[in-house]
Amino acid sequence: MKFKKKSLDFLKDYLNTASPTGYEHRGQALWTNYLKPYVDVIESDHYGTCYGIINPEAEFKVVIEAHADEISWYVNYITDDGLIYVIRNGGSDQMIAPSKVVHIHGEKGVVKGVFGWPAIHTRGANANEPVPKIENIFIDCGATSKKEVEALGIHVGCMITYPDEFFELNDRYFVGRALDNRIGGFMIAEVARLIKENKNKLPFGLYIVNSVQEEVGLYGADMIADTLKPNLAIITDVTHDTTTPMIDKKKEGDQKCGNGPVVFFAPSVHHHVRDLIVKTANEKKIPYQRAAASRATGTDTDAFAHSNGGVPSALISLPLRYMHTTVEMVDKKDVQNVIQLIYETLLKITPDLKLKYH
């Protein structure tokens, strides 16, 4: 399986479009436009979760799901001399902020700014050297007063995103911000494309769901699960490549970019659905890895699994380096294999699939 030019063009545009938690609409518009030719119906809910449906009249409902949002910052406080202090929107990492360019989404449009930081000459090389904290990182947008900042259309509550753009590295990796988890939205859309182009006739209704607000509490998945009431859900998200420096494999497990999709074992993961995924991977010779989560997966899997009295759910994750930075990296082969694994698994699902343990 190779990526089509149309698919790669969509992926680039999709990743380069700001789609922070609570403001996912621009990215969702691109996603639904790409998905539309491959599904029978496009729908959305009040908070912006979007989904396409194949066979909308079918009683048995299967969901494949990813989340659409990216981490960002809110303007929280503007000083009298025009500096901006922030709070997180999602799991934004203060350690990478100093010297980063940002886009402040104000009432008059996007305003550029920078996360400033004291020069090395002024900090001193000792134990008291400051480190980035949420309390001391700040944005300078070139203004000299609060009044001037406000005149630019910037106010408390404005969204702040990073403008870093998508690129390919060494013809092996996709690199950029927001791969967590718009790469998931790309992958499930590609599954829908394969079903359409291969003229597969599914014996169930397939709901291709791109949820909002995962980064702040799985809220979009929680809402849409209650709306759709699916019979089965397969979630895709990213997980850590633990082979990079300063990660403890004894704590985080052993997963690596290039070694295939990661199939999770966790309380919210349904044994029969996971076993079907593993069986499919083995039969189709799709490489895969295993990972465990002790309480919760921390993904939308938990929201679906615990909804509606319990929805049999499983998680297929994509190994990723440098999560919640602007240089997140995934191996292109893994992306292809996640798409193929979800697609081949769907072809094995029937409405009479055994889902009860007893």
Assess whether pLDDT exceeds 70 at residue 351.
yes
Q: How many residues does the chain have?
A: 358
Three-class DSSP category at 146: helix
Q: Is the pTM of this model over 0.95?
A: yes
Contacts 24+ apart (CB under 8 A), 243-252: 244/321, 244/322
Assess whether pLDDT exceeds 70 at residue 223.
yes
Q: What are the tokens at 123?
A: 């900090």
**Exposed (0-12), middle (13-18) or buried (19+): which is 201, by Cβ within 10 Å?**
exposed
Measured in degrees and rounded to the nearest 5, phi and psi for residue 270 equal: -75, 130
Quickly state the pLDDT bin for 1 (edges 50, 70, 90).
low
pLDDT digits (tens, 9 = 90+) for 7-48: 999 999 999 999 999 999 999 999 999 999 999 999 999 999
Which of 183, 178, 189 lies closest to 50, judged by CA? 189
